Amino acid sequence: MVSNMKPKLEDVAKLAGVSKTTASRVLNNRGYLSEKTLKKVHDAMETLNYQPNAAARQLFKQETGLIGLIFPTVSNPFFGELVNYLEYELYQRDFKVIIGNSLQDTDKETDYLNQLLAGQVDGLIVGTHNQGIAEYKYSHLPIVAIDRIMNSDIPIVESDNYHGGVLATERLINAGVKHIVHTNGPSSLETPAHRRRVAYETIMKNNGLEPHTFTIDFKLSFAEKKRRYQQLFDSYPDMEALFVSNDVDASIIMAIAKERGRKIPEDLLIVGYDGTELMRNVMPQLTTVVQPIEEMAKIAVDILLKRIAGDKTESEYILPVTLWEGTTGHR
């Protein structure tokens, strides 16, 4: 049934065991369709690697006026500010946003993806810390990822994580310390944030220093994170500095350091990551790498609208980072 020629809609219909009309309705999100029919047709599209043409894709265009945003939780300042800017940008272009906080419920991502497949939203912007989901193989869908590697067909918007890692590590080395520990998420998560670790380890080695990366899952509760960071202090009693992969965790570490009588910056240097507007105002003393959250949101929206229109996009958009000089990164 699978020919060497470019597959046609009738091939999809035949493989799915439905009429061509039904297959067309699935493709164009028209009329009522059962979950089962949707799945059969999408499975057949996947098996045959069927790519609808631009005209067919145009039919997706602004059907619902809704865009789904799937991020771990808006209660984290980085995602809160990102979602705030995404909502603002999309509203300017007559889209409303549906949000799904996926931190407490990893199935939610599949659920929203099915919504997209069923034509209940026009596009998705995703940035979760969940593991890869098989359905993202439908590469023709209007999806944009922020700070997350999906597959080669889904464009990623990210800040320059490698350069951020370089800025943070060099800041600490230039302050004269040698025993620098880095915290980052488990490497099983496919996120460009791991380039921060690669940069840290490379710069440390280039300076004849031994890298020490402490792995911690972003999803842990505050109480669990505190317990893990107490272990970090126990594991590295001689540590002189920390490059922490996000500012909220950097604050938790600063509170633990205080409890343990480690003075910052006298006895311990800290550089964080993210540099949200909130954290720069609430903890201006924290030296941190600033991600351009507003620009990341603008570009993600631009690219998503291009995808919805069926236009070509790049596969990766990397935006520059800067260093916020507080008082915790040097003496």
Contact criterion met (CB below 8 Å) for 93 and 305: yes
Q: Is there binding between residue 283 and a copy of itself (CB under 8 A)?
A: yes
Sequence-ordered list of residues with C-beta below 8 angstroms from that of 161, at least 6 positions apart, any chain: 192, 193, 194, 195, 196, 199, 321
Residue 91 to residue 101: CA distance in whole angstroms: 20
In whole angstroms, how close is the CB of 286 to a copy of itself at the nearest point? 10
Contact criterion met (CB below 8 Å) for 263 and 291: no
Integer angstrom CA distances of residue 229 from 100, 233, 283, 288: 29, 6, 19, 19
Question: Of 28, 151, 202, 251, which lies in the binding site for a copy of itself, with binding defined by CB under 8 A?
Answer: 251
**Please, what is the Cα angle at 267 between 265 and 271, to 5 degrees?**
45
Number of residues that bind a copy of itself (CB under 8 A): 38
Smaller CB distance to a copy of itself: residue 88 or 236? 88
* Binding letters toward a copy of itself, positions 76-115, x by CB under 8 A: xx--xx-xx--xx--x----xxxxxx--xx--x------x
Residue 182 to residue 201: CA distance in whole angstroms: 9
**Please, what is the Cα angle at 172 between 167 and 173, to 5 degrees?**
100
- Tokens matching residue 39: 């799945």
In whole angstroms, how close is the CB of 163 to a copy of itself at the nearest point? 25
Smaller CB distance to a copy of itself: residue 213 or 327? 327
In whole angstroms, how close is the CB of 202 to a copy of itself at the nearest point? 30
Q: Which 9-68 positions form the footprint of a copy of itself (CB under 8 A)?
A: 66
Beta bridge partners of 158: 318
In whole angstroms, how close is the CB of 65 to a copy of itself at the nearest point? 9
Q: Which 155-214 positions form the footprint of a copy of itself (CB under 8 A)?
A: none
- Tokens matching residue 275: 């540099």
* Window of 7-15, 17-25, 194-202, 273-281 that interacts with a copy of itself by CB under 8 A: 273-281
Question: Of 35, 43, 224, 277, which lies in the binding site for a copy of itself, with binding defined by CB under 8 A?
Answer: 277
Residue 263 to residue 326: CA distance in whole angstroms: 15
Contacting positions for a copy of itself (CB under 8 A): 66, 73-77, 80-81, 83-84, 87-88, 91, 96-101, 104-105, 108, 115, 222, 226, 248, 251-252, 255, 276-279, 281-285
